[in-house]
């Protein structure tokens, strides 16, 4: 847990520092140094345009972090919104549950493809698509939490004291949902990053001009047959380390937040 948190923090810091420190210089095309094998000068080798893969991977990870954070954040907001609607009970609750179940019926990737296609691709489309497709699971968790809180005696007390509905929600219900929402965000984050990369790889995601991991891997696809393995190995491995550390962090936090249901 602590080591995962530390690793994630170090990773973010490294990614941020190096993508900022290396700046544009690191990923400038240098056609004299095309497709070089990994060496001391280029630890990860260079790509088909002579760009240093290490620098480019760092930029890619920074981009992944940004897109992932935005998408997961937006998704948590949607989940909270749906939970809020659920809170009114009755028809509103049934409707919210119906929509949640509907969204769960589509495989993520298929839904992502459709959404991103609908929006015409690009960064904003990916963020939106990932956000829209990932909230249902969290919404379910939050709804369970909400039902628990709603039946608590302090809610009744608050109402009996003549507090307005809005006051009760803000001061008594929301603080109880936020920890779960935070854990939800952390659990969603690695998924968002992975799905962004997959979507970009398939050609529906970030613009090919940006140094995204998905773009790099889809370029690398064309060089696999020629035995240029480093183009594929390093960016993917970096992504794996990033996602894994957040996954471990997220699931250990979940174990803290709800020990009983976190066994799987």
Contact residues: another protein, CB under 8 A: 99, 101-102, 104-111, 113-114, 117-118, 120, 190, 194, 197-198, 201-204, 217, 220-221, 224-227, 229, 232-233, 236, 239-240, 243-244, 247-248, 263-264
Shortest approach of another protein to residue 6 CB, angstroms? 17
| Shortest separation between residue 55's beta carbon and another protein, angstroms | 20
Contact 55, 22 (CB under 8 A): yes
> Computed from CA positions of residues 241, 243, 244, 250, in that sequence, does the dihedral angle turn out positive or negative?
positive
Distance separating alpha carbons of residues 146 and 218, to the nearest angstrom: 43
Q: Report the residue number, 103 or 173, with the smaller CB distance to another protein.
A: 103
Distances (CA, A) of 172 to 52, 155, 167: 52, 7, 8
Nearer to another protein, 21 or 208 (CB): 208
Q: Which two three-digit tokens encode residue 100?
A: 């949640």
Quote the DSSP letter at residue 37: P
Q: d(Cα 106, Cα 83) in Å, to the nearest integer? A: 20
Which residue number, 162 or 259, has a Cβ lying nearer to another protein? 259
At 49 the three-state DSSP class reads coil
Min dist CB 79 to another protein, Å, is 17
Q: How far is the CB of 156 from another protein (least distance, A)?
A: 30
User: If you write DSSP's letter for every residue of 247-263 in order, what string do you get?
Assistant: HHHHHHHHHHH-TTGGG
Least separation in angstroms between residue 67's CB and another protein is: 14
Nearest to another protein of 47, 247 (CB atom): 247
Contacts of 53 (CB under 8 A, 6+ apart): 42, 44, 45, 46, 47, 216, 230, 231, 234, 235
Establish how many alpha carbons lie within 13 A of residue 68's alpha carbon, considering only the half-sphere containing its beta carbon: 28
Is the CB of residue 67 less than 8 Å from the CB of residue 192? yes
Nearer to another protein, 172 or 189 (CB): 189
Give least dist CB 202 to another protein, A. 5
Cβ-based nearer residue to another protein, 144 or 236: 236
Supply the minimum distance, in Å, between the C-beta of residue 66 and another protein: 18
Residue whose CB is less far from another protein, 92 or 152: 92
């Amino acid at each position: 847990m602590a080591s995962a948190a530390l690793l994630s923090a170090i990773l973010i810091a490294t990614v941020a520092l190096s993508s900022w420190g290396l700046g544009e210089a690191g990923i400038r095309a240098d056609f004299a140094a095309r497709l070089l094998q990994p060496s001391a000068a280029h630890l990860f080798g260079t790509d088909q345009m002579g760009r240093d893969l290490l620098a480019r991977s760092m930029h890619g990870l920074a981009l992944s972090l940004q897109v992932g954070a935005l998408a997961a954040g937006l998704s948590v907001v949607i989940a909270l919104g749906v939970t809020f609607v659920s809170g009114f009970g009755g028809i509103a609750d049934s409707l919210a549950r119906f929509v949640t179940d509907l969204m769960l019926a589509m495989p993520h990737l298929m839904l992502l493809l459709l959404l991103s296609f609908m929006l015409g691709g690009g960064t904003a489309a990916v963020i939106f698509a990932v956000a829209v497709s990932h909230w249902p699971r969290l919404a379910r968790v939050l709804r369970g939490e909400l039902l628990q809180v709603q039946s608590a005696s302090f809610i009744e007390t608050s109402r009996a004291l003549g507090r307005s509905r809005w006051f009760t929600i803000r001061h008594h219900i929301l603080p109880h949902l936020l920890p779960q929402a935070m854990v939800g965000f952390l659990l969603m984050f690695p998924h968002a990053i992975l799905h962004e990369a997959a979507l970009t790889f398939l050609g529906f995601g970030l613009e090919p001009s940006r140094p995204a991991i998905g773009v790099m891997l889809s370029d690398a696809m064309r060089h696999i047959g020629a035995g240029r393995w480093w183009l594929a190995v390093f960016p993917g491995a970096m992504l794996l380390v990033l996602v894994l550390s957040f996954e471990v962090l997220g699931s250990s936090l979940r174990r803290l937040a709800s020990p009983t249901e976190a066994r799987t």
